[in-house]
Amino acid sequence: MYKHIFGPVPSRRLKMSLGVDIVPHKICSLNCVYCECGKTTNLTVERKEYVPTGEVLAEIDHYLKNNQPPDYITFSGSGEPLLHSGIGEIINYIKNNFPLIPLAILTNGTLLSDKHVRSEILQADVVLPSFDAATEKSFLKINRPSKLINLNEYLQGLIDFRQEFKGQIWLEIFILPNYNDDQDNLKELKKAVKRINPNIVQLNTLDRPCALKNLKPASYEQLDNIITLWNLKNVKIISSVDERKKVGSFRKDTESVILETIARRPCTVSDLSDILGLHDNEINKYLSTLENDKKIARTELSRGTFYSLKVKQRK
Ligand code: SF4
């Protein structure tokens, strides 16, 4: 079993995507209230070799030499990938040995204020940075950053990266009512988006349990109103979980095995991950769909969010 790669997982944006997870769970420079992976346990901007680079290279090599190529190789997971000091070496290795597979990076973008970090990821094909707030108030509220992150430097890093990077930038903005949907932030966000000049802006909102309980997602109508208000090119709403099933790699067998497991006893994401040997992110994607289909229910207990089969109402 692999330790640092997972999937391929059905992804709304990156089709059948082989995940590369190079930073341990919840080591991140932000502590976003909406994080699907829970609370950040190590809030840091320190870059280091969090997992051995050689191990990651060996796993990627083994997978790609023994399986069909995925649609993308994607750096993602439950921590911030740019914190890993070996990411440049890993990207070089993939590009030298498997040049035909597109490479994507999901990042919060905070470390792009560092020129050296920017230079390390220039060979990627798609970078998907997030940027949810352009006012200090909203930034602190929704992203709860490390004290060492300065909002202006964060924004400037994204602007500089656009100048230097020849690939696609898909900027993700997560909208959360009462956290970053005030007029002031929306106005400043529009200015920031124009300065960053990404290829696409993707508006996202909650569809999973997250770090802070009782958060509400933005409605489709609200996201649509933001698009109208901004009147910018290339702003899209990321499609709903329904779309996930249309992704070619959505595996009914994985869905079934999750259902069979929670039919025996309610499980958390982490229980399912241990039992099934799948990455948290992968489990999360299937749970979204099952919840959306009203096949499972969730209960909040002290050990976390438990999933069980939805009990059918007797007529
Ligand atoms: S959502 Fe991403 S950037 Fe925010 S805390 Fe979670 S892992 Fe970090």
For 182-239, what is each residue's pLDDT tens digit? 999 999 999 999 999 999 999 999 876 666 777 888 999 999 999 999 999 899 998 5
Q: Is 35 in the pocket of ligand 1 (CB under 6 A)?
A: yes
Q: Is 40 in the pocket of ligand 1 (CB under 6 A)?
A: yes
Q: Based on the fold, state whether residues 82 and 154 are members of the same structural domain.
A: yes
Q: Based on the fold, state whether residues 121 and 17 are members of the same structural domain.
A: yes
Q: Based on the fold, state whether residues 118 and 257 are members of the same structural domain.
A: no
Amino acid at 223: L
Total count of residues recorded for the chain: 315
Give strand pairing partners of 129: 107
Q: Based on the fold, state whether residues 258 and 113 are members of the same structural domain.
A: no
The residue among 241, 274, 289 that closes a domain is 241
CATH assignment at residue 140: 3.20.20.70
What token pair was written down for 89? 């070496």
The answer to whether the CB of 245 falls within 8 A of the CB of 258 is: no
Q: Based on the fold, state whether residues 174 and 260 are members of the same structural domain.
A: no
Backbone angles phi, psi at 103, to 5 degrees: -120, 130
Q: Based on the fold, state whether residues 196 and 273 are members of the same structural domain.
A: no
Average model confidence (pLDDT) across the chain: 89
The closest residue, in CA terms, to atom 4 on ligand 1 is 32
Top pLDDT among 269 and 133 is at 133
The closest residue, in CA terms, to atom 1 on ligand 1 is 35
The answer to whether the CB of 201 falls within 8 A of the CB of 175 is: no
Q: What is the three-class DSSP state of 27? A: strand
Backbone angles phi, psi at 245, to 5 degrees: -70, -20
Q: Which of the four pLDDT bands, split at 50, 70 and 90, describes residue 90? A: very high
Q: Is 53 in the pocket of ligand 1 (CB under 6 A)?
A: no
pTM, whole model, 2 decimals? 0.81
The answer to whether the CB of 285 falls within 8 A of the CB of 9 is: yes
Top pLDDT among 170 and 243 is at 170
Atom of ligand 1 nearest to the CA of 26: 7
Q: What radius of gyration, in Å, describes the C-alpha atoms of the chain?
A: 19
Instruction: Give the C-alpha separation, 296 to 255, whole Å.
Output: 11
Top pLDDT among 66 and 15 is at 66
Q: Is 82 in the pocket of ligand 1 (CB under 6 A)?
A: no
**pLDDT of 267 higher than 70:** yes
Residue 71 within any structural domain of the chain: yes
Average pLDDT over residues 282-294: 85
Residue 185 within any structural domain of the chain: yes
Domain extent, residue 279, equals 252-309
Cα separations (Å) of 168 from 81, 128, 232, 261?
18, 8, 17, 39
The residue among 194, 218, 241 that closes a domain is 241
Q: Which of the four pLDDT bands, split at 50, 70 and 90, describes residue 314? A: very low
Residue 315 within any structural domain of the chain: no
The residue among 241, 275, 294 that closes a domain is 241
Q: Under the phi-then-psi rule, with left for phi > 0, alpha for psi from -120 to 50, and beta for the rest, what region is 268?
A: beta
Average pLDDT over residues 143-160: 98
Cα separations (Å) of 2 from 83, 251, 272, 277?
21, 19, 16, 9
Instruction: Give the C-alpha separation, 298 to 310, whole Å.
Output: 9
pLDDT tens digits, 29-60: 999 999 888 889 999 999 999 999 999 999 99
Q: Which of the four pLDDT bands, split at 50, 70 and 90, describes residue 116? A: very high
Q: Give the pLDDT of residue 303.
A: 72
**pLDDT of 281 higher than 90:** no
Q: Based on the fold, state whether residues 36 and 135 are members of the same structural domain.
A: yes
DSSP 274-301: HHHT--HHHHHHHHHHHHHTT-EEEEEE
Instruction: Give the C-alpha separation, 220 to 185, whole Å.
Output: 19
Q: Is 30 in the pocket of ligand 1 (CB under 6 A)?
A: yes
Which DSSP symbol is given to 111? G
Amino acid at 171: L
Going from the Cα of 34 to the center of ligand 1, the distance in angstroms, rounded, reads 8
Q: Which of the four pLDDT bands, split at 50, 70 and 90, describes residue 250? A: low
Cα separations (Å) of 55 from 22, 28, 47?
10, 21, 18
Q: Give the pLDDT of residue 315.
A: 39
Q: Is 149 in the pocket of ligand 1 (CB under 6 A)?
A: no
**pLDDT of 242 higher than 60:** no
Structural domains counted in the chain? 2
Going from the Cα of 312 to the center of ligand 1, the distance in angstroms, rounded, reads 35
Q: Give the pLDDT of residue 241.
A: 43
Instruction: Give the C-alpha separation, 3 to 189, whole Å.
Output: 38
Q: Based on the fold, state whether residues 230 and 275 are members of the same structural domain.
A: no
Q: Is 218 in the pocket of ligand 1 (CB under 6 A)?
A: no
Please name which of 18, 22, 39 lies closest in space to residue 30, comparing C-alpha atoms.
39
Residue 247 within any structural domain of the chain: no
The closest residue, in CA terms, to atom 7 on ligand 1 is 79
Q: Is 28 in the pocket of ligand 1 (CB under 6 A)?
A: yes
Q: Based on the fold, state whether residues 66 and 124 are members of the same structural domain.
A: yes
Q: Is 108 in the pocket of ligand 1 (CB under 6 A)?
A: yes
Atom of ligand 1 nearest to the CA of 174: 1
